[in-house]
Amino acid sequence: MAHPIVTLRAYGDGLRLIIRPNLSITEIEEAIQQELARMNPPLSETSVQIDMRAPVLTDKELERLKTKLQKTYNLQTREVASPDETAAPVVVAAPATHTISQTLMLSHNESSEQSRIVPQTIRSGQTEDFPQGSLIIYGDVNQGAEVRAGGDVIVLGALRGSAHAGTNGRLSAVVIAMELVPLHLQIGNYINPPLLGQKSRGYPEIAHIGSKDIIVVERFVKF
């Protein structure tokens, strides 16, 4: 569950630390400490954008926060979003080897879909379900585990269990994993036959619905 003061979310351009308005620097620092303490593994050496929806901190306080993020959590601040900037859409997979039609992409962007970060491995017997948007798993999805998302499923590890993206019917949803070897794979109402004994090909892959209305698995290049 997101912290009421700060929220860490994954967008198409990377991680963003979203800070609510009308708070003191002390409240913000305490909230960040609690939010980052939930992350396992930690986000050391990751870059983040500080996103303030309204003027919250003075320049001096902002520099203090950036220094604390670097020295205490080893997080690099790549930029600070101004209040009037338009937020980028939540993680949309668009590698060079895979394109999404303009119509589907526009519809997806306009929905301002949310994302949920799960900072640990999903173990056998466990289920992670997020019908409101995309799931980003910082770990593996083990055999016997299941992940379901209304949007995309992104696994920063091995996907060996079951994954269902686009549970809300969005056929532009994708499944991405560093090792894509699922027992069950579904996008919308399209299902891939189980591939028992499938071995990892040693590179990230993306699954999407192809032009012939079947699930296609390709090498994933980049976000």
- Beta pairing class for 47-52 and 127-130: unpaired
Range 90-117 average pLDDT: 46
Six-digit token pair at 89?
Answer: 């859409």
Task: Assess whether the region 6-81 and the region 102-219 belong to the same CATH fold.
Answer: no
Q: Report the CATH fold assignment for 102-219.
A: Pectate Lyase C-like (2.160.20)
Question: Considering only CA atoms, which of 60, 80, 64, 69 is closest in space to residue 18?
Answer: 80
Q: How far is Cα 49 from Cα 160, in angstroms, rounded to an integer?
A: 32
User: Domain locations in the chain?
Assistant: 6-81, 102-219
Beta partners for residue 208, in sequence order? 216
Six-digit token pair at 142?
Answer: 């083990």
Percent of the chain with pLDDT over 90: 30
Write the CATH number of the domain with boundaries 6-81.
Answer: 3.30.750
* Candidate from 1-10, 15-24, 41-50, 208-217 with smallest mean pLDDT: 1-10
pLDDT band at residue 104 using 50, 70 and 90 as cut-offs: very low
Interval 32-48: pLDDT, tens: 888 777 665 566 667 78
